Amino acid sequence: MVDATSDLVYRTNHDWSEVDIVGGSLLFGRHGSLTPDWLDVLIHPDDRDLVAEAITRARATQTPFSAEHRIRSEDGSWAWVSSRAVPIRPIGGDVTEWFGAATDITARRLHEEHQRLLLNELNHRVKNTLAIVQSLALQTLRGAEDTGAACDRFEARLHALALAHDVLTRQQWEHAPLGDIVRTAIAPSLVADPERFDIEGPEMQLDPQRALALSMALHELFTNAMKYGALSTRPGRVRIHWRAEAVQGRRSLVLSWEEMDGPQVHAPEHRGFGSRLIERGLRHDLGGDVALDFNTAGVTCRITAPMPDPGVAA
């Protein structure tokens, strides 16, 4: 039975000062006795106190030893095991030895850790999303004279946020292709009148925070263009170009939105939520610079954002 199992099978003397490995070559790699410093040799430093306390408790109560801890494998790496040893003693006598087995649970522990990370990430994303929705609601409805129009704007912004989430979900929330973010933000007009857009740029990936921020900003630019700008009349067009270049020694995204051939533009007397979201929100979330200009010939917006180096997490 010992030879057939992949568990690490061991026996110890009554006080655990000597440990014999009697089986389990798949995990430990060899059989034989371990010296009294086996705890320091075999057990992970962070788990030694836990194992020592479990041994002390088992010896004091003469009940089975049980613990989950890391153990050094033959190649020097650490494996998680679930270890259990039972006391052996003659009838009416004291414990003479302990016999136990340690089952490799590394895959299970890694899975549990992955689940914890996912739950923490989900909790973080939900809180961020709720904060975004709260900000959208407050800023959209605050001081609105026409409640119906304000609700429509709020619904449109929520829809834009949902579409950005869809793009990220397709990529397991690891990144989002910049081209997809741009095309999703202008999808209502892009599908009907693709010739009104000049879209060009290399393939680039955005982390979730930058993708959501840029998506909301592009939605505001698009909505403004549909209502008052180049997309409100023909033959108005929008040019959206982006590139990667070195800005102050850092690899950066430079994206430009340029409206042309539309009605004459008049700069607003007061900056609304959309303008503040583009200028302040993007500047904060992207850690870069945003230049929004209401030129007479058409609205322009230039976005510069430092990007993480390829292969480096944001």
Give the CATH number, domain containing residue 217: 3.30.565.10
Does residue 17 sit within a domain?
A: yes
Query: Do 162 and 95 have their domain in common?
Result: no
| 24 contacts 8 by C-beta, under 8 angstroms | yes
What band does 306 get if pLDDT is binned at 50, 70 and 90?
confident
Q: Is the pLDDT of residue 154 over 80?
A: no
Total number of domains in the chain:
2
Question: Would you state the pLDDT for residue 47?
Answer: 95
Is 204 a member of any domain?
A: yes
Do 47 and 173 belong to one domain?
A: no
Tokens at 37, concatenated:
């410093």
Where is average pLDDT lowest: 86-95, 122-131, 143-152? 122-131
**What are 48-105's pLDDT values in tens digits?**
999 999 999 999 999 999 999 999 887 788 989 999 999 999 887 889 999 999 999 9
User: Phi, psi (5° rounding) for residue 9?
Assistant: -105, 135
Closest to 184 (Cα-Cα) out of 154, 201, 164, 205? 164
State yes or no: pLDDT of 313 exceeds 50.
no
Question: Measured between alpha carbons, how far is 96 from 136 in angstroms, rounded to an integer?
Answer: 71
Q: Would 109 be classed as within a structural domain?
A: no
The mean pLDDT of the chain is 82
Residue 100, domain member (yes or no): yes
Question: Is-contact 190 285, C-beta < 8 A?
Answer: no
**Given this model, what pLDDT does residue 139 score?**
60
Other beta carbons within 10 angstroms of residue 194's beta carbon come to: 11
Highest mean pLDDT among 98-112, 153-167, 299-313: 98-112
Res. 286 pLDDT band, cuts 50 70 90: confident
Q: Can you point out the beta strands (E) in 128-182?
A: 176-177
Residue 243 has pLDDT above 60, yes or no: yes
Domain extent, residue 55, equals 8-104
Among 76, 104, 132, give the residue marking a domain's end: 104
Residue located via tokens 């834009």: 160
User: CA angle, corner 252, sides to 251 and 256, nearest 5?
Assistant: 155
CATH number at residue 47: 3.30.450.20
Residue 118 has what pLDDT? 66
**Mean pLDDT, residues 114-143 taken together:** 67
Share of the chain above pLDDT 90, in %: 30
Question: Same structural domain for residues 81 and 188?
Answer: no
In a domain? residue 110: no
- Tell me which amino acid residue 9 is: V
CA 215-138-270 angle, to 5 degrees, is 80
